[in-house]
Chain A
Amino acid sequence: MQMRDDEVLFRSVFQSGRRAYLLVGILLAIIAWAVYAYVHQVATGLGVTGMNRPVFWGVYVTNFVFFIGVSHAGTLVSAILRITGAGWRRPITRAAEAITVFSLVLGVSSILIDLGRIDRIWALIRYPRFESPLLWDISSVSVYLTASVIYLYLPLIPDVAMLRDRLSAVQGRRSWRRWLYSKLALGWTGSAQQWRRLERGISIMAVLIIPIAVSVHTVVSWIFAMTLQPTWHSTIFGPYFVVGAIFSGIATLILVMVVLRKAFGLEAYLTPRHFNNLGLLLLTMTLFWFYFTFAEYLTEFYGGEPAPLGVLMTKLGGAFSPAFLAMVFFCFVIPFVVLAFRRTRTIAGIAIAALLIDVGMWLERYTIIVPTLTLPRLPYPTGSYSPTWVEWSVTLGCLAAFALAYFLFSRLFPIISIWEVQEGENAHVPAAEESAASESTV
């Protein structure tokens, strides 16, 4: 292991520069434009979108499913690897947990943006009907959001205490940062008892958060699977969506890591080994995803029931075939080839595969939702859908909001868990532990 100076981990929190302001400015401009588009939509009506009858759901619901899916990055990488004691997870846990929190918030926002009467949102609390899968979703997503905020916060405490102590040493005067850090540190002194409690809390949350995360994306899939609509009413939708969620979550984590590594100079922490291990995990998920997709579509094709077959045909050779074929290439064909061979499984190769997978998984959600809606069971006039500038602007705004939230978080808190990395270094046997752990995940 190369020598490294953990100072670089603090530097990302305190440094600032013109480039940072420029980035924040650009992101704020995109968000402002999206807010304008949304206000226009609320004032005028959902008619400003491309939705119609029978395509009552479009890009917004796709974004909802996509963002909730991406939120599974934190759970899998952080919780599962923590429980299995994989040592190589240490520098990437916080980056993953932060993705979970921010993309969950955007998932919830996307479904709120889709509502025709946002002003009546209180009705969900005043007249809730738990027979509706939407209520199942509200329940599981709010539990998941709460749990993942706690799960992000607990391992942050020792690092926040370090920041608090640093600021006290450097500057005597009061500053909002120092105030924030000392509040968030909850009087952390690093006593043996505090450590014991912290480790216990983290372990409990790591175990709890896995079933919660699985339930969340299962319930998201049930929004569709509980209806009688052709190709949605499928028993494997729960696991299929969970696999897709973990798949896009890992891909997003890899993309974020590539950016952080370059932006903050974290090459000594986010090493080729991390990318290789995550690349192998991604390869596994590619195969899982292909298996589920193949099983789902073959069953529909072979049965040959007219309504599902019609939907399948519009994906294979009809209006949705470009999106569907792109999905197959982006989610399976290209990533499989890139990730399977050691020569192409480089950081650049893995990053490209991850980017394609994120685009492909968005297309997957889109081609599950929209084609079914264009082809109702009864021989009515069929529908078509093309999103408008409002929907694209809001989508872009969501991506910018994610980037901005992530950037601000990485400026306030160390994006690599400093105490966990140091704990790993002090364990004396990092090499043996790490290779054992990486083998167990392959």
Chain B
Amino acid sequence: MPRWAMVIDLDKCTGCQSCTLACRMENNVPFAGQEQASKGRAIFWNEVFAYAEGEYPHVKMTIIPRPCFHCENPPCVKVCPVGATYKDEEQGLVLQRYERCIGCRYCTVACPYGVRYFNWYQPEWPTGTDRYQNPNVPLRPKGVVEKCLYCVHRLPIPACVQACSSGARYFGDLDDSNSEVAQLARSPRAVRLLEDLGTEPKCIYLKEGL
């Protein structure tokens, strides 16, 4: 059984947002529009965060692309009252049953990484854009939660990994110790976010500047 994991090399990432764009197109992520986006209601299965630390002239820019981490011990799955989000034991992925979600948003509150998004309205597709919808990925209705699924429909290459312009993303089986991701996960540069929470994320970052 594979245990799918992603490695993101922060030294290679240029913050170009190709991953975000590829993800949107691949997974039928709807448009929120400017007004809703300003209210914090835009949906990004993959989001690239950039923030500056320090004071001029000693400023350090950090860019962190963030998919779902598909935790081994996912806090979101624990709290779901109906099993609308669940851990697929065969592939180790945290997946969604959109048709069962009751929209209580307990999972969005429980996820310490904020990878979960809610459909505040019925998703709208501006004229013409529905032509580009991917028939292999279901559209989500209003009132349900959605998030990155590591492109479970097109494994073993998620769209973001394929589209990454600088080759910063790696994807593979963590249980195969010879795989690229397993080797990189053993690197001294490898870190996982909020590791002390015990969630065991399966998205591993390679730190910058070593």
Contact = CB atoms under 8 A, between A and B. Distances in A.
Nearest to A136: B81
B142 A45 contact: yes
A105 to B, nearest CB: 19
A132 B81 contact: yes
A47 B124 CA distance: 13
B104 A229 contact: no
B110 A228 contact: yes
Nearest to A44: B121
A45 B102 contact: no
A383 to B, nearest CB: 6
B125 interface: no
A57 B104 CA distance: 9
Contacts of A227: 75, 79, 109-110
Contacts of B193: 378
B126 to A, nearest CB: 17
B75 A129 contact: no
Interface in B135-178: 142-144
Given A53-B117, A54-B40, A116 B79 contact: no
DSSP majority for the B interface?
loop
A44 B193 CA distance: 36
Contacts of A228: 75, 110, 112, 197, 199
A45 B104 contact: no
B41 A47 contact: yes
Nearest to A127: B82
Nearest to A383: B40
B29 to A, nearest CB: 14
Nearest to B103: A116
B12 interface: no
Interface residues of A, number: 44
Contacts of A377: 112, 194
Interface stretch (A3-11, A118-126, A187-195, A201-209): A118-126
A387 to B, nearest CB: 13
A47 B103 CA distance: 12
Contacts of A229: 109-110, 112
Contact of A120 (B101, B110, B114, B120): B101
Contacts of B117: 53
Interface of A: 44-47, 51-57, 111, 114-118, 120-121, 123-124, 126-129, 131-135, 138, 223, 226-229, 373, 376-381, 383
Closest 5 CB pairs of A and B: A116-B103, A116-B143, A47-B120, A52-B40, A134-B81
13 contacts: A45-B122, A52-B120, A114-B105, A116-B118, A116-B144, A120-B101, A126-B82, A129-B81, A129-B82, A131-B79, A132-B78, A228-B75, A228-B112
